[in-house]
Amino acid sequence: MKPVRVRISGDSMWPTYPDGTEFDLHPPQEDQPQVGDIVLCKHPFFPDLQIVKRVQSLEEEMIFLVGDNPDPTVSEDSHNFGTIHRDEILGICTQVDEHLE
């Protein structure tokens, strides 16, 4: 299955991934996600909104997600909505290597 392309919109993952950074989205495998992975999921409060965040911690089936931006007012993440269930992860993001395209 060919990966789906995802583009970050906004500054929640800055400075690691600035606005416009593109990722390939892969279905999560049985052992994913892992701490440090970049994932796509639906926002728990706004189901029409998909968000890209980093997995900060895992406890059993619950995942704590954070944005990379050090300004806490910039990122809607688990600090705002709490943990999400592993089943809510839509995919694992890998950064697009523009040199290979």
| Number of residues in the chain | 101
Question: How many domains are there within the chain?
Answer: 1
- The 8-class DSSP code of residue 92 comes to E
Say yes or no to pLDDT of 1 above 80: no
What is the span of the domain harbouring residue 74? Answer: 4-100
What value does the CA radius of gyration of the chain take, rounded to a whole number of Å? 13
Task: Map residue 79 onto helix, strand or coil.
Answer: helix
Residue 70: give its domain's CATH number.
2.10.109.10
Digit-coded pLDDT (tens) for 28-66: 998 999 999 999 999 999 989 999 999 999 999 999 999
For residue 24, which of 7, 9, 42 has the smallest C-alpha distance? 7
Judged by average pLDDT, the poorest of 5-14, 49-58, 70-79, 89-98 is 89-98
Contacts of 35 (CB under 8 A, 6+ apart): 55, 56, 57, 58
**65 touches 78 (CB < 8 A):** yes
